[in-house]
Amino acid sequence: MSSTKDDEKQKKAVRGQWRENEKAHEIPDNNMWIVFPCIMGAVFLSAMDQTIVSTALATISDELHASEAEYSWVGVAYMLTSTAMIPVVSKLGNIVGEKIIFLVGIVVFLLGSGLCGGAKSMIWLCTARGVQGLGGGTIMASVQIIISLITPLQSRGKFSGLIGSVWGVASLIGPLVGGAFTEHVNWNWCFFINLPIGGVVLIALIVFLKLNPKERPPYKEVLKQFDYIGLLSILTAAICIIVGFSVASSSTWKNPAVIALIVVGGVVLLFAGVWETYTTKSQIIPPRLFKTLTTSSILFGTFFHAFGFFNGSYYLPLYFQVANESSPTLAGVELLPFSLGSSITSVLSGFLVARYKRYRPIIWCSWAVQIVGYALITTLERDSNRAKQVLYLLVTAFGVGGLFQTPLLALQAAVPLADMGLSTGAYVFVRSMAGTVAISVGGTIMSNLTKKKLANIPDAGAMASSSTEDLTGIKDIEPVELKLEIQQAYSEAIATIFIVVVALIGVGLITSLFIKRYSMEVKNVKQGETQEEDKEKQDDKEKQTDIEGSSQITAAAATESYEKQEKEKGTS
């Protein structure tokens, strides 16, 4: 029995000790007081664009006469193209450099923002959101990779916690800004606001961001080894599945097109998994990331966490507009407990990981708190009081915030430095894919349930034909009895979305139990010290060789002298 315990302790002690044989992580010399706020600014713009439209969607839909499918595609188009870019970012970074890819991503994002602001139709807006997504996905993946390059793992929790808090602040400010612009200016400024802020961030990063120069493989070699089939199959699967959910939101699950798209997407995704396992090319998502319980558990858990977060960011404001008859701006204010709470928790969790070098307790507690919070949200109804709404959102936020960046730190601790970029890219890809699926699934549930419930309400009339574009007019419905029935129908549909979320968060909690503890100690040196350190080691080695050689010569001479003296004594 004791032998088994000793073996287990030895395994735990050894886990992560392979880092001792790794080459030191060379940290570039950056002015973090300038560089890091600029990186946070880039993340903020990209993250805010995923939430700023949540309170403006109803108004945009009214003004541009959006159909049910077009309504959901304002969010889905952004998430889909951003997801498509993420797998290629790390590959492109290896070819032309991570900084260049990061800056190009910001430029494309700003271009898309300008196009969105000038949109005159839903097709134009959705297309421009796709352009925005290309830049936004590049920004999100590049930021995580760059943070891993310019900060040591031991203290990365502080920086990651702050990056995670940006998501909370963005989801806090996004709905407020979106609602304010929609009510007091116009919705176009939800997108134009990115241009001046993004311009300043872009110029500052061009001047101040420094990354270590490194040898890069020749272009021909990279193009030869690039996994085109893997990338194409992953993107095809993602597009088929997302489009299938979007079509389902405007029709029914019995639609042949919906069934065909989802089945084809599933089959292609299965093919992609097999291909990535056996291909000799440079895989988009290396299967080795899933060969340990820790890395696979983290990546699966990331999907479930993002599924809940994005549903909360998109559909809680709609609940407030329906149940509380709130304006878009007020709906953003009512989302503050969710946004602010998750932001604060993200910062605290990052600092705790940096201080104590432990991540598992934070991950486990966050999953448990999330389940309680989302379960409470499912009980919210049309007439739920404000105190309940605030309390339930706060509880949920405390669980959500702890999982913004802590799992990424655990993932980076569990892989070699050589796989840091790939694992980080996979993490961001899974998170982005989950967001896309979440918005589509949430829209499908809300659309189908509200149509069904409204069809059973006498005199609901045109409300049954479209479940989202008439949200802003619900408060004006007469008689009051009819309005209350319609509000209850929407509240129940939104609650059903979070019932699905609770189930998936429960699965996420179970997967988190398989995460093992890895050492967060990594050898770090400042830029330029690696060569000096290697030279010093070589000099020390040569000195040691000289000393050992001198000792051997001296010992040999002493032995020879001793033997000579003994011979002379014997002769005399």
Residue spans of the domains in the chain: they are 30-226+282-526, 227-281
What's the mean pLDDT when you consider all of the chain? 78
Beta strands 25-27 and 524-526, pairing class: parallel
Mean pLDDT check: name the lowest of 100-114, 453-467, 521-535. Answer: 521-535
pLDDT in tens, 351-363: 888 888 888 999 9
Q: What percent of the chain has pLDDT over 90?
A: 19
CATH topology for 30-226+282-526 is Growth Hormone; Chain: A; (1.20.1250)
Q: Is the pLDDT of residue 555 over 50?
A: no
Q: What residues contact residue 509 under an 8 Å CB cut-off, 6+ apart? A: 364, 367, 368, 370, 371
- What confidence score (pLDDT) does residue 405 get? 82
Residue 521 C-alpha from the chain's centroid:
24
Rounded to the nearest 10 degrees, the angle between the axes of helix 420-455 and helix 480-512 is 150
pLDDT in tens, 525-552: 555 554 444 454 445 444 444 444 444 4
Mean pLDDT check: name the lowest of 128-132, 158-162, 309-313. Answer: 158-162
Amino acid identity of residue 273, one-letter, is G
563 or 345: which carries more pLDDT confidence? 345
> Is-contact 329 384, C-beta < 8 A?
no
Q: How many CB atoms lie within 10 A of CB 335?
A: 29
Residue 217 DSSP SS3: coil
- What confidence score (pLDDT) does residue 463 get? 55
Q: What residues contact residue 68 under an 8 Å CB cut-off, 6+ apart? A: 249, 250, 447, 466, 467, 468, 469
For 340, 447, 451, 452, the CA distances from 482, given in Å and listed in that order, are 35, 19, 15, 16
Q: Is the pLDDT of residue 172 over 80?
A: no
Which two three-digit tokens encode residue 38?
A: 């600029």
Q: Residue holding tokens 């894919």? A: 433
- What confidence score (pLDDT) does residue 49 get? 81
What's the rounded mean pLDDT across residues 396-407?
89
Q: Render 101-144 in DSSP notation, one character per residue.
A: HHHHHHHHHHHHHHHHHT--SHHHHHHHHHHHHHHHHHHHHHHH
Read off the pLDDT band of 15 (50, 70, 90).
low
498 or 470: which carries more pLDDT confidence? 498
Q: Render 431-489 in DSSP notation, one character per residue.
A: HHHHHHHHHHHHHHHHHHHHHHHHHTSTT-GGGGG-SSTTGGGGGG-SSHHHHHHHHHH
For 221, 295, 359, 418, 465, the CA distances from 19, given in Å and listed in that order, are 29, 17, 18, 11, 60
Read off the pLDDT band of 243 (50, 70, 90).
confident
- What confidence score (pLDDT) does residue 558 get? 43
What's the rounded mean pLDDT across residues 231-235?
86
Which two three-digit tokens encode residue 462?
A: 């045109």
- What confidence score (pLDDT) does residue 264 get? 94
> Is-contact 194 201, C-beta < 8 A?
no
312 or 184: which carries more pLDDT confidence? 312
Mean pLDDT check: name the lowest of 107-116, 223-232, 366-375, 385-394. Answer: 223-232
Q: Is the pLDDT of residue 553 over 70?
A: no
Rounded to the nearest 10 degrees, the angle between the axes of helix 98-117 and helix 68-96 is 160
Q: What are phi and psi of 296, to 5 degrees?
A: -65, -40
pLDDT in tens, 16-29: 554 555 555 567 77
